[in-house]
Amino acid sequence: MLKNWISALLLLTITFNVNAQNDEVIEDSSWKKNYRAFASKEHDLMHTKLVADFNYAKSQMNGEVWLKLHPHFYPSNKLTLDAKGMDIHEVSIVSIKSNKALKYQYDGLLLNIELDKTYKSTETYTVYIKYTAKPNDYKANGSEAITDAKGLYFINPLGIDTTKPTQIWTQGETEGTSVWIPIIDKPNQKCTQEFHLTVPKKFVSLSNGLLVKQVDNKNGTRLDVWKMDQPHSPYLFFIGIGDYAVVKEEVAIATDGKAIATDGKAIAADGKKKIELSYYIEKAYEKEALKIFGKTPAMITFFEKKLGVPYPWAKYAQMSARDYVSGAMENTTCTLHGDAVQQNARELVDGNNWESTIAHELFHQWFGDLVTAESWSNLTVNESFADYSQTLWLEHSKGKDYGEYENYIGHRSYLSSPDAVEKDLVRFYYNDREDMFDIVSYQKGGRILNMLRRYVGDEAFFTSLNKYLNDNKFSSGSAIKLKLAFESVTGKDLNWFFNQWYFGSGHPYVRINQKYDEAKKQVLVVIQQTQTQDKVFELPIGIDVYAANQKNHYDVWSKNRVDSFYFPSSVSPDNVNIDNQKMLLWEKDETKPLSQYIFQYQHATNFIDRLDALNEAAENMKDPAALSLIKSALKDTFYIIRQKAIQAFNPAAMPKEIEEEILNLITKDPSNFVRETAIDAIGALENSKYKSLFEQLTNNDSYLIAGAALDALEKVDSLSAIKIATINSKTVIKKRLNTAVTKVLTKYGDENVFDFVAAKFEALSIQSEEKFYMTMPFASLLIKTTDEAKFKKGIDLIVAFRNAIPEGYRTQTDPYFNTQILGTILKKKKQKGEENLVKIVSAVLTKM
Ligand SMILES: [Zn+2]
């Protein structure tokens, strides 16, 4: 699963925290009290057969389910199923002659069934249940990853809302499947399945496995039978129904003898097994489907090759969902994406936003679906791998810098999350299982895998993953099993690594100093671990010493609070590069001369070395050598470095030659991100001679470039900007262009622009960054608005946004909405003496 809340919210939180130093931090440590064992296995699920149809009028599902089970080990005459908020009509045991009704008790959450006899572990039995699933009557707690937990969602079921299609989709993770099927809803259960779904004829359906049968009925419905003959966990069960375009292609799957699926019919003439890839997308985006999803075949081939394990399933489909409650979800053979996956041709000019997510969910088909975390405590063996797959894919498809940048971003997000430091990666204590879907399981875990990969080496890393997958396929995984696979392959004891990083929390803070001893001809490097935590980390550190046209590499260990290392060097070194692969998950404070950073930039083999050097130079702009470094960085091969180099210059003191060079980037740089940053830099000069350049760029296909140009134009000619913003407001605009248009219209427009801005704001998904960026200009417009009805509508929209944010984030976001947004509006309205409007804002503030 992927939450795409993180980026926008994190940004918001970071900016806001700067202004909120006085807020008291209330530490909540109640999570430390609850030990979370894995779910006891009293019975093992073997097969689930579901027959269902859908009541759109009531948003309910009528279901009949046949569950085939056997006791796990101990004989048993009782079965407990998870069944949330259902009406249970019948429970019986299936026998050849006729079904026999069973006694049961149901409390709305658990269905306790008395079996007809005591079964031994070698005996199978089938329980039949007839029920109605009523997801809207079941109120579950939301969380960071899932904004709600109804399991089964009816979107615009009656078709009343003209802005939305009618859809049904499910979200099983963590334990939502039991809202629509009575089941043992635990990740350590696995079974095969067969879904017989009666759906409106005008819609398509999607579920796990293959569509094996379709029968048209006379009443406008159709029976679709989906069959999944490899076992997987209940939280990965999926149903999606709606009006979609289905775009298909094929990919050949490796058949190296180790292939898991051996369905002979699927082997093509060339000996390769081919599987179908399908993309379910709203019809308006049909033409873009291959641009959005088209890298899927290359990703499958790449992941298979890296892992040495063929794609395990019979097909792979991807579907988009309206009003989705998460970012994306790796249901076995059918991933569901939030509607942000649907990008128009103009958005795709700036690249596919969703490519990493597509890789993430696909990698789960191995890590998560084929081998599944035995419990939520061990979520790392699903999510850290999926997170790290984004790095692997970028590194492979776009190059080393992209992979290293992805690592860098993950590393930074972990370090900027203060609560994360005391949480173990494998966590047996938590309040709510949804709390596991956090920065520790994702970003920190991904970086821990990167360290492990660098420590054991690429070949050992991927051989170990292969062993872990093969040893545990169609079964459960855990950090312990992962450790065993790595130890078996490498022959190394890895207790220290797993105890420190998987079963421990935090990270080292280090102070690094160096000194050259002329007399002894040696460099002294002192590494001091300064974390307040009562533990010292064991850190393998690679050090490159550059001197006299030579590079010498040393591997050392930091295992004490303070360690001193001496390296021979005939002259004072040009650079000492500590942690040369930039793999360590630490927070460092390193002191070394600027000259070493300059040398480092020129001789760096990785992105972070160049970035560190650039940052150091940016703080020493007066030094001509630093300035010259930044100038070279404007021509760096990696776009992120070029962007940072542009941003290093203060517009108030930009040298003429630099201005020329940045102007050049506006028209010639291959990256739209760099062009956008360059426009911002030139725009900040507020020089009217660039007016026509900006005007012309507002017509650019790229939303980034056009938006930046409109912002820049507004600074030199607001009348022209208003004209262009007004024209744009009548077309489909998104991303930065939308933000820029809104900003101009709300700043200069009167109440007449209210309808346009309010409609835009309302239409944006609560998960989109654009909505966050629009909140501030929208508030400025409300300050100007005197029409009571419009004002009230605006306040209601902001409050709805505030309240729609998942519970886990609201302690961070509520102060932003209540102070910066609503609080500011209130203050201004009081100053203006608009008492009727003051009342409207006060009412929503007191209702906190
Ligand atoms: Zn995931």
Instruction: Indicate the DSSP class of residue 173.
Output: T
Q: Mean pLDDT in the chain?
A: 92
DSSP 418-480: GGGGG--SS-SB-SSGGGGSSTIIIIIHHHHHHHHHHHH-HHHHHHHHHHHHHHHTTEEE-HH
Backbone CA torsion sign across 554, 556, 561, 563: negative
Q: How buried is residue 531: exposed, middle or buried, by Cβ count under 10 Å (0-12/13-18/19+)?
A: middle
With a cut of 50, say whether residue 10 has pLDDT above it: no
Rounded to the nearest angstrom, the distance between the alpha carbon of 383 and the centre of ligand 1 is 5
pLDDT of res. 763:
84
Determine the distance separating the centroid of ligand 1 and the alpha carbon of 5, expressed in angstroms: 13
In angstroms, what is the span from residue 327 Cα to ligand 1's centroid?
Answer: 9
* Residues 635/658, Cβ–Cβ less than 8 Å: no
Determine the average pLDDT of the residues in 403-415.
Answer: 97
Going by pLDDT thresholds of 50, 70 and 90, the confidence category of residue 28 is low
CA of 3 to the centre of ligand 1 (A): 8
Task: Give residue 110's identity as a one-letter amino acid code.
Answer: L
In the reported structure, the alpha carbon of residue 141 is separated from the centroid of ligand 1 by a whole-number distance in angstroms of 20
pLDDT given at position 163: 86
Burial 52-91 (b: 16+ CB within 10 A, else e): bbbeeeebbbbbbbebbbbbeeeebeebebbbbbbebeeb
Ligand 1 centre and the CA of 328: distance in Å? 8
Q: Residue 357 corresponds to which amino acid?
A: T
What tokens were used for 846?
A: 């007191």
Least confident of 138-142, 259-263, 782-786: 259-263
> Separation of 809 CA from ligand 1 center, angstroms?
19
Give residue 386 CA to ligand 1 midpoint distance, Å. Answer: 5
pLDDT on residue 14: 41
Q: What value does the mean pLDDT take over residues 442-446?
A: 98
Those residues whose C-beta lies under 8 Å from the C-beta of residue 1, and which sit 6 or more positions away, are 145, 173, 326, 327, 328, 329, 330, 383, 437
Coil, helix or strand for 742?
helix
CA distances from residue 47 to 73, 182, 190, 227, 367 in whole angstroms, order as listed: 18, 13, 8, 11, 22
Q: How far apart are CA 387 and CA 438, in angstroms?
A: 12
| SS3 category, 96 | coil
Alpha carbon of 713 to those of 488, 629, 683: distances in Å? 63, 31, 7
C-alpha span between 627 and 631 (Å, rounded): 6
pLDDT of residue 269: 52
Residue 395 scores a pLDDT above 90: yes
pLDDT of residue 56: 98
Give the span between the Cα atoms of 266 and 311, in whole angstroms: 13
pLDDT at 188 over 60: yes
In the predicted structure, residue 146 carries a pLDDT above the cut 80:
no
Q: Model confidence over 148-160: pLDDT tens digits?
A: 589 999 999 999 9
Q: 651-660, 733-742, 797-806: lowest mean pLDDT where?
A: 797-806
Distance in angstroms (rounded) separating the CA atoms of residues 178 and 81: 8
Rounded distance from Cα 146 to ligand 1 centre (Å): 12
- pLDDT of 257 > 50? The answer is no
Please tell me the predicted confidence (pLDDT) of residue 428: 95
CA of 415 to the centre of ligand 1 (A): 20
What is the pTM (predicted TM-score) of this model? 0.92
pLDDT single digits (tens) 728-742: 999 989 999 999 999
Other C-beta atoms closer than 10 Å to the C-beta of 589 total 11
How many angstroms does the Cα of residue 360 sit away from the middle of ligand 1? 6
Mean pLDDT of 220-225: 98
pLDDT of residue 390: 98
Per-residue CA distances from 180 to 80, 109, 840 (Å): 16, 12, 41
> If you measure from the C-alpha of residue 526 to the centroid of ligand 1, how many angstroms do you get, rounded to a whole number?
39
- CA 7 / ligand 1 centre spacing (Å): 15
Tokens at residue 523, please? Answer: 């460099």
25 has a pLDDT exceeding 90: no
Q: How far is the CA of 190 from the centre of ligand 1 (A)?
A: 19
Å from CA of 474 to ligand 1 middle: 18
Residue (of 343, 349, 321) closest to 240 by Cα position: 321
More confident residue, 533 or 338: 338
Give yes or no for residue 263 having a pLDDT over 80: no
Q: How far is the CA of 393 from the centre of ligand 1 (A)?
A: 15
430's CB contacts (< 8 A; 6+ apart) are: 31, 34, 36, 376, 377, 436
pLDDT in tens, 372-391: 999 999 999 999 999 999 99
- What is residue 143's predicted lDDT score, i.e. its pLDDT? 41
Whether the pLDDT of residue 429 is over 70: the answer is yes
pLDDT at 472: 98
Say how many Å lie between the CA of residue 130 and the centre of ligand 1. 33
What's the whole-number mean pLDDT along residues 277-290?
Answer: 98
Q: What is the pLDDT of residues 611-650, one digit of tens each?
A: 999 999 999 999 999 999 999 999 999 999 999 999 999 9
Q: Residue 465 burial by CB count (10 A; 0-12/13-18/19+): exposed, middle or buried?
A: buried
Average the pLDDT over each of 8-12, 106-110, 427-431, 494-498 and give the range with the smallest value: 8-12
Res. 405: pLDDT tops 50: yes
pLDDT digits (tens, 9 = 90+) for 662-702: 999 999 999 999 999 999 999 999 999 999 999 999 999 99
